[in-house]
Structure 1
Amino acid sequence: MPSFVQVLDFIGTFAFAISGIRLASAKRFDWFGAYVVGLVTAIGGGTLRDVLLDVPPAWMQDPFYVICTAFAMLFVILFSKHLIHLNNTFFIFDTIGLALFTVVGVERSIAAGYPFWVAIIMGSMTGAAGGVIRDVFINEIPLIFRKEIYAMACVVGGIAYWICALVGVESYISQIVSGSTVFLTRVLAVKYHITLPILKGDPEHENEA
């Protein structure tokens, strides 16, 4: 039987792959191009995490990630008309993937013996890096470089996990609390237009630009 973290990883992979394929379809990519975008969205953050943790990337040990992306591709093809009419499709799947991958990143880092501050960073990287690669592939400014709360939601979720661990909460409950925190933080930030302060530059140089 797969562990709870593996289940989260599988669901997150499917959700992130759909978000990437959905955006690729909006850019009129062909099937192969859309699959590639979906795959890098799903495995990009985890690959970067595993390289930094000095372990083999998960997708190189288990073909599930490649197969799961194929199912996500089939899902988008079969239900493309319904997905197009759902304006929030990308946001929903992207936020689900962000939340679940943050939890997976934190868990994998802790299992590798790293302290919590590293786990929080790795959780944020696992959640957000795939989206960065996706946005670069489709020629968009990555979400983490815009005003939207994106990677910061992962940080908040990682801190929630750490607090749960401090008070002795069961691991699976910590995972649920962490993922829910990421999801709610992102949803509430978008709904109520909550953003981080913008770093102001030199007005003279701004005028020249």
Structure 2
Amino acid sequence: MYKLFFKLSILLFGFTLFSCKENRQTTAEQKQLEAKSVVQAANFTVAESSKKAPENIAHEISFDIVSPFRKDDNENCYVHGATKLFHKTDNSFMLTKKDFAITDVDFSDSNYEGPGYTIYSYQSSANKNMEVIIIEGQADIGTAWYYVVVLDGEDLVDKFYVKEPRANSETTDMKDFINVALKDKDLVLKFKKDKIARYSKPMANMRAEGSYLCLDKKIK
């Protein structure tokens, strides 16, 4: 009788121990599954957020290739690669690219009588088809105005004056004063604050961005 009771006790103890072990394993497995589900849900949320984020972000393309036009006295024009500005009068040019006439560039309405022009080409390594040409009308002292021509290949996109702000052309090269970027459909002209001439009066609709004043121009 005693032996039977002893065997039953051992069996009961073993069964209880086995049950506790199984419960612990089951609980641990459940916790692992719950933790895995939380991680998967978090990863899914991050993935979904990353998919939606670009819709709300305006991508900015910098025009990081900046180089001057050279003056060709033999052809009476300014040249940069396939782009040329031929003098028509003292105050006007014919702009061509790859020998195709694109547009007149006329400053007659400004009554400009300055000593000459400095002209730069701004292009982007991210979009080499776009070209922004900035013409600086030099004054007897400093700078009179800037004129911007925007091209997409051989097509004219836009052209317009920028009369403020100005740097002093006698002390500041245009490439050190003006940066250009494209942000969606906005052409962004960035003017270095510390190089603005004292006689210049920046426009009220310009916004500050770090060390620059920015002019956003909606292009066609």
Q: Is TM more than 0.5 here? A: no
Which structure has the bigger radius of gyration?
2
User: Relative contact order (alpha carbons < 8 A, sep ≥ 6): 1 or 2 greater?
Assistant: 1
Give the TM-score normalised by structure 1.
0.30
Bigger strand share: 2
Bigger helix share: 1
